[in-house]
């Protein structure tokens, strides 16, 4: 570690949670084992042309079978927390009705294994793998899916609620709604903006219905929240039309979900900007949705820059301009801009009154190569993490109530529409052999955490 890294380690308080994140469909594999039924991602990935090179999650990282070894790896890295997701189609394979004991058993073992190693479990109840049977009844465009979800959430909490420290109801409902139903680049692949808006409402309702049921079935000190994706928008210049278009992009990208959650209201102008009708909101929905959460999970990777006058009629169409001269980009084509994380955290605190924030995802894809030895050099990821964790330290210093950081991802995995071609891990995965090799970024992160522990113990 450099002296700058040592100073960075000193910027974080002793109860800070340092972890790594994954999601069920991206790592587990074993999609046809122990009673699991298909999800929309099994269906979507089977459609030619939807996923890069026809990849799917059937085997993925085989984490379902390598769970113990993977937790051992987390322990070697010195992680204090682990964020994973629970596959609804393992727990209730048809989406509603019969509960599959083997599914609950798997996560029960995972949680116990984590606790044995002193790693705090943070669980996401929905990271995009909707049971296919529910999709056949309209999926998230059907209000009933929200009620089925709340039943599912309660069943999981009854089993794991005595040990899970933090629940996330949903991961990035913006992606489920817009990428899944609006433009169809994610499952289930629908392309209808009105459906996206309706699906978004039912996702929010699912969250609102589940909140009290999670609390009622969890330990008193467990906390319940949600993870949202944010891409801060910056104007390319100061012209009035640029400022106006940047506002409009921000409305669509960043405010659609946080405002009903934080204020019990959809942001004004959202539906008009998207040229859609408001979703079917029923009496009481917004009260449920706007009920206080214990923390907000923040997923942030990049920013977007917007220039006015180039923007088409609908708010979601081609909002980015670029490349930004002099800027660096990851393999996903996402600009590296750590200041956006600082700005975002301060905004969530000041403007939306969030009292506890966790970075639940932050990371970068690069072309990592492995020569068959026991090292993987990924200097660009090390630099990315240094800069983003530095940005986090400055948000903390300016008063943002940040409680933890989870890097995306613990290990390379199934990157949705990008298949296995994009690697986000701090641990390399050789899919042929399922060998895991800690990358230089993993070693760096581990050393940072060790330095932080050394400081805070003294």
Asked whether position 87 contacts ligand GBH by CB under 6 A, the answer is no
Number of residues near ligand GBH (by CB under 6 A): 14
Residue-wise burial string across 293-312, b where 16 or more C-beta atoms lie within 10 A, e elsewhere: bebbbbbbbbbbbbbbeebe
Binding residues among 12-41 for ligand GBH as defined by CB under 6 A: 23, 26
Closest listed residue to residue 458, CA positions, set 79, 112, 10: 10
For residues 348 and 400, is the Cβ–Cβ distance under 8 A?
yes
Please state the closest distance from residue 23 (CB atom) to ligand GBH, in A.
Answer: 5
Closest listed residue to residue 297, CA positions, set 244, 258, 340: 258
Neighbours of 440 (CB within 10 A): 16
Q: List the catalytic residue out of 28, 154, 259, 361.
A: 361
When binding is defined by CB under 6 A, the residue of 37, 42, 129, 172 that contacts ligand GBH is 172
Site string for ligand GBH, 222-261 (x = CB under 6 A): -------x-x------------------------------
Q: Which stretch binds ligand GBH (CB under 6 A): 67-75, 168-176, 270-278, 439-447?
A: 168-176
Please state the closest distance from residue 388 (CB atom) to ligand GBH, in A.
Answer: 14
When binding is defined by CB under 6 A, the residue of 17, 175, 288, 376 that contacts ligand GBH is 175
For residues 253 and 177, is the Cβ–Cβ distance under 8 A?
no
Asked whether position 51 contacts ligand GBH by CB under 6 A, the answer is no
Which residues, including other chains, have CB under 8 Å from residue 71's CB and lie 6 or more apart? 82, 110, 113, 114, 117, 119
Please state the closest distance from residue 361 (CB atom) to ligand GBH, in A.
Answer: 6
Site string for ligand GBH, 299-318 (x = CB under 6 A): x-x-----------------
For residues 210 and 149, is the Cβ–Cβ distance under 8 A?
yes
Asked whether position 218 contacts ligand GBH by CB under 6 A, the answer is no
H/E stretch holding 211: helix 193-216
Asked whether position 171 contacts ligand GBH by CB under 6 A, the answer is yes
Which residues, including other chains, have CB under 8 Å from residue 93's CB and lie 6 or more apart? 35, 36, 37, 100, 103, 131, 133
Asked whether position 124 contacts ligand GBH by CB under 6 A, the answer is no
State how far the Cα of 323 lies from the Cα of 334, in Å rounded to an integer.
Answer: 10
Footprint on this chain of ligand GBH (rule: CB under 6 A) = 23, 26, 171-172, 175, 179, 229, 231, 299, 301, 361, 408, 415, 424
Catalytic residue IDs: 361
């Amino acid at each position: 570690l450099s002296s700058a890294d040592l100073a960075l380690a000193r910027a974080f308080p002793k109860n800070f949670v340092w972890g790594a994140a994954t999601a069920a469909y991206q790592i587990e594999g074993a999609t046809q084992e122990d009673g699991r039924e298909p999800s929309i991602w099994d269906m979507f990935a089977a459609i030619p042309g939807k996923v890069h090179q026809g990849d799917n999650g059937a085997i993925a990282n085989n984490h379902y079978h390598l769970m113990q070894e993977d937790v051992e790896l987390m322990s070697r890295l010195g992680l204090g927390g682990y964020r994973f997701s629970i596959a609804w189609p393992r727990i209730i394979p048809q989406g509603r009705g019969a509960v599959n004991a083997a599914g609950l058993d798997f996560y029960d073992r995972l949680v116990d294994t984590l606790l044995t190693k002193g790693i705090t479990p943070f669980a996401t109840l929905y990271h995009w793998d909707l049971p296919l049977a529910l999709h056949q009844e309209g999926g998230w465009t059907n209000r009933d899916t929200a009620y089925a979800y709340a039943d599912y959430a309660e069943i999981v909490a009854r089993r794991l609620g005595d040990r899970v420290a933090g629940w996330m109801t949903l991961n990035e409902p913006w992606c489920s709604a817009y990428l899944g139903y609006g433009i169809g680049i994610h499952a289930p692949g629908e392309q209808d903006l009105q459906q996206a808006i309706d699906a978004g409402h039912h996702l929010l309702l699912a969250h609102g219905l589940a909140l009290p049921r999670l609390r009622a079935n969890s330990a008193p000190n467990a906390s319940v929240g949600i993870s949202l994706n944010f891409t801060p928008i910056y104007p390319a210049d100061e012209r009035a039309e640029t400022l106006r278009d940047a506002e409009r992009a921000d409305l669509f990208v960043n405010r659609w979900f946080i405002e009903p959650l934080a204020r019990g209201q959809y942001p004004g102008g959202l539906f008009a900007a998207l040229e859609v009708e408001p979703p079917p909101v029923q009496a009481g929905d917004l009260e449920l949705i706007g009920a206080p959460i214990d923390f907000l999970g923040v997923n942030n990777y990049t920013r977007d820059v917007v220039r006015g006058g180039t923007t088409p009629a609908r708010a979601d169409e081609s909002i980015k301009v670029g490349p930004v001269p002099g800027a660096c980009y990851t393999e996903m084509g996402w600009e590296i801009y750590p200041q956006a994380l600082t700005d975002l955290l301060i905004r969530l605190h000041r403007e939306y009154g969030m009292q506890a924030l966790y970075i639940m995802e932050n990371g970068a894809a690069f072309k990592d190569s492995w020569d068959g030895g026991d090292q993987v050099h990924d200097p660009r990821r090390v630099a990315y993490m240094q800069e983003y964790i530095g940005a986090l330290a400055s948000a903390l210093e300016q008063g943002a109530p940040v409680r933890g950081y989870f890097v995306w991802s613990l290990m390379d995995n199934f990157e949705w529409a990008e298949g296995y071609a994009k690697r986000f891990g701090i641990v390399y995965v050789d899919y042929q052999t399922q060998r895991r090799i800690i990358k230089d970024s993993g070693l760096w992160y581990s050393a940072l955490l060790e330095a932080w522990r050394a400081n805070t113990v003294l």
